[in-house]
């Protein structure tokens, strides 16, 4: 009897530990919230496309803020930076349309791809704080900067991860960027919930069941022709052959996470002041 009680207590402890940090209301049941995703490149939102589609479908307002125009990511020597930026803009807007997110909810800050950490950080921060104060998100989605230790991200991603969280911290203080408050009639705003992606696997505490949105996720991802097909080396336009389409779909499915018969997306959920995100 004592062994059974001890086993039950251990099981209860580990069940509690495994659920620690999860939202009180499951993400699948969120409604009426404003969600802002901040990423570095057009397509950085793709890791969360199923969740974004679900949130939009459930009556939430979703905004996607991307810091660079994606104007460098190709091996095709015939494409200029200007042309590639135009292509990536259309691909992103088309992908978001598949998710039900209107083009007006896409904000691109236009910095050069691959050069984000060399830009004026105060200028970027000012612009991000303005967006946060303007749209007042309840939830921020962003690259996970790390919990307890810094998460390594490739160039641009690592900068975006810190800028996103730091902008949330700055947006809540009325004496930071006070010109926005005095002259633009904006108000300080505190973001209280975070869904952080592309983090350490051991830090994930939230799984979102996106099974019903798998096809939407795939169809949205397939808009990124210039990044994930032969367009990477020689871009010939948004149309691809049936064989390329088949290969593209298979490639997306291999990137998809399946667990216990469900399709999921994983996050580190955090609730509270942004001051505590790294703890």
Residue 166 belongs to domain spanning? 27-276
**pLDDT for residue 231:** 85
pLDDT at 275: 87
Q: What is the pLDDT of residue 127?
A: 98
> Considering the domain boundaries, does residue 19 fall inside one?
no
* Residue at 1 is within a domain: no
For residue 258, being part of any structural domain is answered with: yes
Total number of domains in the chain: 1
Radius of gyration over every alpha carbon of the chain, rounded to an integer in angstroms: 20
| Contact (CB, 8 A) for 63 and 112 | no
Residue 210 lies in a domain: yes
Per the CB < 8 A criterion, the answer to whether 72 and 81 are in contact is yes
pLDDT for 278: 86
Give the CATH number of the domain where residue 218 resides.
3.40.50.10320
The answer to whether position 8 is within a domain reads: no
Domain contains 253: yes
Which of 126, 136, 135 minimizes the C-alpha distance to 180? 126
- CA distances (Å), origin 151, targets 22, 159, 162, 174, 196: 20, 11, 10, 30, 12
Give the mean pLDDT of the chain: 91
**Domain annotation covers residue 34:** yes
pLDDT score for 20 = 52
Please write the tens of the pLDDT for every residue from 74-112. 999 999 999 999 999 999 999 999 999 999 999 999 999
In this structure, is residue 2 part of a structural domain?
no
Give strand pairing partners of 193.
139, 271
pLDDT confidence of residue 17: 35
Residue 275 has a CB neighbour count (10 Å cut-off) of 11
Q: Which residues of the chain have pLDDT under 70?
A: 1-20
């Amino acid at each position: 009897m004592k062994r059974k009680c001890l086993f039950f207590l251990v099981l209860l402890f580990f069940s509690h530990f495994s659920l620690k940090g999860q939202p009180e209301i499951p993400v699948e049941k969120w409604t009426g919230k404003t969600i802002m995703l901040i990423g570095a490149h057009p397509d950085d939102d793709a890791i969360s496309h199923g969740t974004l589609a679900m949130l939009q479908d459930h009556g939430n307002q979703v905004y996607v803020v991307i810091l660079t125009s994606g104007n460098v990511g190709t091996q095709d020597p015939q494409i200029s930076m200007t042309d590639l930026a135009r292509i990536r803009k259309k691909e992103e807007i088309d992908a978001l349309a598949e998710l039900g997110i209107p083009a007006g909810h896409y904000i691109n800050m236009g910095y050069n791809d691959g050069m984000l950490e060399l830009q004026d950080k105060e200028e970027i921060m000012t612009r991000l704080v303005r967006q946060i104060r303007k749209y007042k998100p309840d939830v921020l989605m962003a690259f996970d900067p790390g919990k307890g230790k810094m998460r390594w991200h490739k160039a641009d991603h690592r900068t975006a991860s810190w800028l996103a969280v730091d902008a949330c911290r700055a947006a809540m203080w009325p004496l930071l960027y006070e010109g926005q408050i005095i002259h633009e009639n904006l108000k300080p705003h505190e973001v209280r919930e975070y869904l952080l992606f592309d983090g350490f696997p051991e830090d994930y505490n939230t799984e979102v069941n996106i099974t019903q949105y798998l096809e939407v996720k795939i169809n949205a991802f397939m808009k990124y022709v210039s990044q994930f097909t032969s367009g990477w080396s020689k871009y010939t336009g948004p149309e691809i052959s049936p064989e390329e389409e088949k290969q593209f779909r298979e490639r997306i499915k291999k990137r998809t996470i399946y667990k216990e018969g469900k399709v999921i997306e994983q996050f580190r959920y955090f609730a509270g002041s942004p001051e505590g995100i790294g703890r």
